[in-house]
Structure 1
Amino acid sequence: MSSSNPSSTTEGECAAAKAADEAFAATGNPLPNLPIPPPLLSTTPGSWAYDTMSRRVDEEILQRTYEENEEEFQSPDFAEALSNMEALRNELRNAANTKLRHLLPLTEEQAKDPERVEEWQQWYDIMNPYVEAGDTWLTAPWMVTEFFVYRRFMEALGYFDPSNAATCMWDPFLKAKRAGLDTSFASAENLMEKVEALPNTKEGVELAAAFALWGNKMDLSIWPADAANSDVDVFSDVLAAAEKNLLHDDLITLASYCETLREEGGGVIDIIVDNAGFELVTDLALADHLVASGVAREVRFQLKSHPTFVSDALEKDLLETVETYAKLDASTYPFAKKAGERWKSYLENNQWTCHENSFWVQGAAMWEMPSKLRTNLKENCNLAFVKGDANYRRLLGDRYWDYTAPFQDVVGAYFPCPVCALRTLKAEVGCGMEKDQVERASSLDDNWLVN
């Protein structure tokens, strides 16, 4: 397979997306250094994007969400939400022919909330090119529609509507997220024992970042029994085992930069969070080490402002995770409990802070970041960790970049602060890879881009 991402796979261009790109370029805001390729669409049968928007969201995600919350949906308080949800599902069942629409106008009560007004206007601006062009759920860019369908689901439920106390701020994915949390303890106990023993060195940062990337897929069988007194070469062996499936690795550069932050008294580090459950625990473990080792004087968790993608983490998910771990049985999970107690103290002392922002749940490229958020990152953040596949896709605008396009030219050129992306491949989007690595991955697995 060629190391390029051939244009023959791009399904053609979306005229509205091209016009939106041109309009944004005219604003003078920072962009990638390279010509921006067309976005992924959902128009090709057999593609992951097509399957997601024409089948998976309805048949798997929304159906499972209904089944997990059937008691609630059958109650009188949820009658309107259920009807609205069914209408949304009908749109998706006919995704190829259903034209996109804007969010419904805000109610009089909602319009009194500046945050709601701002968020509604942001979505209006994102969707307007595609609504005006008559695009459907499949012909508009996949990133736009995939995020928008969750915002439409929140609209259907009345998530932001204070007139119905039962559905307002009700998380339809909470049961699924709690199930993930409840099954995380054993893996977390194993992980936190290792994190507690990490050295306050460059190798410690490398290992903590590797944990956050791989989670429980890392091979810890070669971890030394007495880690605190082990030679650094043993930690190198653990890292080497984790690196065999890496397509791009800047851990050494990352560790050197973090060492500089430590020497300067610690920096402000943001973690742009992806999922709740065990993945969130690995984010907390990374943040734990960054603070404990002196690399960070503050870690800011950037979290979603409403439920999305089923497992994505809100502030309340993070706080519940910390509280749950702090209350674990010390005789069963001693290291995980101790970690939870540390995490709680970090929050109480403002060494950890939580920040929800509507931008993190919107179908826009990260170079389209609102000026207020961009300025905050530029002026206050020394390093941002961007977690997960969906966030990575947004870093790249969900575009068909050449896989060997330098990360610095695609992302570093516009991102407002130093950035480290931690991502395992789940979609056909990528950059920064060496040609031989792409060829190696392709030869080992035909589905290397999505599994």
Structure 2
Amino acid sequence: MTTDFDSKYNIVDEPTPLNTDLSGHYKQSFAYYTLRERLPVTLTSIIDNLAKDKDELANEYGENAREEIKNVVGLLSKLKYQLQTDKNLEPFTENEPDKHVWNDFIEKLPDGKNTFFETCWLYAECYMYRKVSSFFEATTALKSYDYFAKQKVNALQISIDAMETIAKYTRNVEKSADMFVRLLKLNLWGNRCDLSITSGKEVKPTEDAVEIIKSLDSNLIADNTAEICECIHTNESQQCSVDFVCDNAGYELFTDFVLGEYIIDKQLATKVRFNVKSIPWFISDVTPTDFYCTLKYLSEHNSPIISELGKKWTQLVEEGKFELSPLEHFWTSPYEFYRMSEVRPDLYKKLSESRLVIFKGDLNYRKLIGDYNWDKTESFVKCLRGFQPTNICSLRTVKADLICGLRPGVAEELFKIKPDWMTTGDYGVIQFAQGTNCNCN
């Protein structure tokens, strides 16, 4: 059904054609739903929380913050209006450290493909979150304020029961390919706790996380665990690193630490590096503050086994076996990863020194293969478009309508069973691509 909005902004009531960028131009797409429904709700939530917390923020950051909150709310309201009326993506005008990267990108967008609904969904969504951060960065009092922090802290605290179950299950386990695969799957399904998909509403892991590993095997629709297992167990005695390109804070970060701990303890690598976001991003993504606050929270928890884990992981950080990678603005840029070697060659080189890079979650998957309507049976390697600095593992629960690497007939069968299967997070993929420039051997 065509609405006044659709007529005014050239929206067509069709699904995204094959081999086309995902965008809000196509009404029968998750991109359209996100831009029309989810993102305005996210902006409204930030505005409402600022109004509700203004006294608390003034106490913490000084009275100056009150006036700055008013200014930020005005800018957020303007951004929401621009989003809802399909305006052009505007350049960045403050002192953002990545301003030139973004402005160069925006300037090169083709005419007619530089508005919220006409440009690629990935670009529009990343732009919105980057703009929000820039409003706070331009203030004096609120530069360091994370407007998603309360939601992330709450998500961590309500997950303690699930974390305790995992902690008990993973203590003193033997080294085996089977155990590595179980922890890989545990890490995959931890990705279901994503606040951005619910526009910030509480997501609590309620099932027994250990039982999930077994019960959700039928929901794993692409499974390259055998190749990943072979990769990680090759030349084990070598000095090498494994990288996580992280996604969500809270429960998912906890499962990242669990898998990282196993990799170190079983000498599958000598270092595990965690790549996180430089700014608050997609509501629940990990920032450096989240990384350290999580370790502190776990270390000080009244549950003995949780506290023991937190202290052990903190020690791994102090010993350099767990490492928080330096801030990298590429992770919050609009660029797909196949352009990394051109845009950030130093980062590409750094990743090539790792034995395995584990990309977590839906947004990283979108950046790996681009917001593009590939044939669902197209190979993962082809869709990476040359991005193979080293061995790559993608752990993703499916929350957006793009995918590749499926066996023939799988997608068609899923559409019969559950028409919205691509956006619910109920299904997952574990995909692997061997590196072409890997220096890890």
Same fold (TM over 0.5): yes
C-alpha deviation, 1:341, in angstroms: 1.0
| Corresponding position of 1:259 | 233
| Corresponding position of 1:404 | 377
- In 2, Cα distance between the equivalents of 1:132 and 1:103? 19
Matched residue type, 1:210: K
Q: Normalized against structure 1, the TM-score is what?
A: 0.80
- In 2, Cα distance between the equivalents of 1:287 and 1:221? 17
C-alpha deviation, 1:166, in angstroms: 1.7
- In 2, Cα distance between the equivalents of 1:166 and 1:49? 35
Matched residue type, 2:171: E
Task: Tell me: CA distance 1:50–1:396, structure 2 relative to 1, closer, same or farther (3 Å).
Answer: same
Matched residue type, 2:322: W
Contact kept? 1:184, 1:277, Cα under 8 Å: yes
- In 1, Cα distance between the equivalents of 2:189 and 2:413? 20
Contact kept? 1:102, 1:131, Cα under 8 Å: no
Question: Given the alignment of the two structures, is residue 104 of structure 1 paired with residue 93 of structure 2, yes or no?
Answer: yes
- In 2, Cα distance between the equivalents of 1:221 and 1:202? 17
Contact kept? 1:11, 1:43, Cα under 8 Å: no
- Pairing partner for 1:362 from 333, 336, 340: 333
Q: Deviations over 1:38-64 (max 9, x none)?
A: 311111234321121133212x21112
Question: Given the alignment of the two structures, is residue 61 of structure 1 paired with residue 42 of structure 2, yes or no?
Answer: yes
| Corresponding position of 2:387 | 414
Contact kept? 2:167, 2:306, Cα under 8 Å: yes
Contact kept? 1:442, 1:448, Cα under 8 Å: yes
C-alpha deviation, 1:105, in angstroms: 4.7
- In 2, Cα distance between the equivalents of 1:274 and 1:221? 21
C-alpha deviation, 1:92, in angstroms: 1.8
- In 2, Cα distance between the equivalents of 1:220 and 1:148? 35
Matched residue type, 1:337: S
Question: Given the alignment of the two structures, is residue 127 of structure 1 paired with residue 116 of structure 2, yes or no?
Answer: no
Structure 1 gap segments, 5+ residues each: 1-7, 13-36, 111-115, 223-237
C-alpha deviation, 1:131, in angstroms: 7.1
Task: Tell me: CA distance 1:239–1:167, structure 2 relative to 1, closer, same or farther (3 Å).
Answer: closer
Question: Given the alignment of the two structures, is residue 89 of structure 1 paired with residue 64 of structure 2, yes or no?
Answer: no
Counting matched residue pairs gives 383
Task: Tell me: CA distance 1:219–1:172, structure 2 relative to 1, closer, same or farther (3 Å).
Answer: closer
- Pairing partner for 2:69 from 59, 75, 78: 78
Say which is worse superposed, 132-141 or 428-437, in terms of deviation: 132-141
Sequence identity, in percent? 23
Matched residue type, 2:257: L
- In 2, Cα distance between the equivalents of 1:283 and 1:326? 16
Which secondary structure does the structure 1 equivalent of 2:221 belong to?
coil
Question: Given the alignment of the two structures, is residue 212 of structure 1 paired with residue 203 of structure 2, yes or no?
Answer: no
Q: CA RMSD in A?
A: 2.1
Q: List, as ranges, runs of 4+ consecutive aligned residues in structure 1 with deviation greater than 3 Å.
A: 71-74, 131-134, 216-222, 238-242
C-alpha deviation, 1:10, in angstroms: 2.4
Contact kept? 1:88, 1:156, Cα under 8 Å: no
Task: Tell me: CA distance 1:406–1:217, structure 2 relative to 1, closer, same or farther (3 Å).
Answer: farther
Structure 2 gap segments, 5+ residues each: 1-13, 56-65, 191-204, 425-441
- Pairing partner for 1:9 from 10, 15, 21: 15
| Corresponding position of 1:148 | 127
| Corresponding position of 2:200 | none
- Pairing partner for 2:151 from 156, 176, 182: 176
Contact kept? 2:162, 2:206, Cα under 8 Å: no
Say which is worse superposed, 299-308 or 44-53, in terms of deviation: 44-53
- In 1, Cα distance between the equivalents of 2:323 and 2:207? 28
Task: Tell me: CA distance 1:320–1:191, structure 2 relative to 1, closer, same or farther (3 Å).
Answer: same
- In 1, Cα distance between the equivalents of 2:412 and 2:29? 21
| Corresponding position of 1:289 | 262
Contact kept? 1:386, 1:419, Cα under 8 Å: yes
C-alpha deviation, 1:206, in angstroms: 0.5
- In 1, Cα distance between the equivalents of 2:110 and 2:382? 32
Q: Normalized against structure 2, the TM-score is what?
A: 0.82
Question: Given the alignment of the two structures, is residue 435 of structure 1 paired with residue 405 of structure 2, yes or no?
Answer: no
C-alpha deviation, 1:68, in angstroms: 2.7
- In 2, Cα distance between the equivalents of 1:152 and 1:220? 36
Task: Tell me: CA distance 1:63–1:418, structure 2 relative to 1, closer, same or farther (3 Å).
Answer: same
Contact kept? 2:16, 2:28, Cα under 8 Å: no
| Corresponding position of 2:9 | none
- Pairing partner for 1:273 from 228, 246, 249: 246
Contact kept? 2:162, 2:209, Cα under 8 Å: no
Contact kept? 2:362, 2:398, Cα under 8 Å: yes
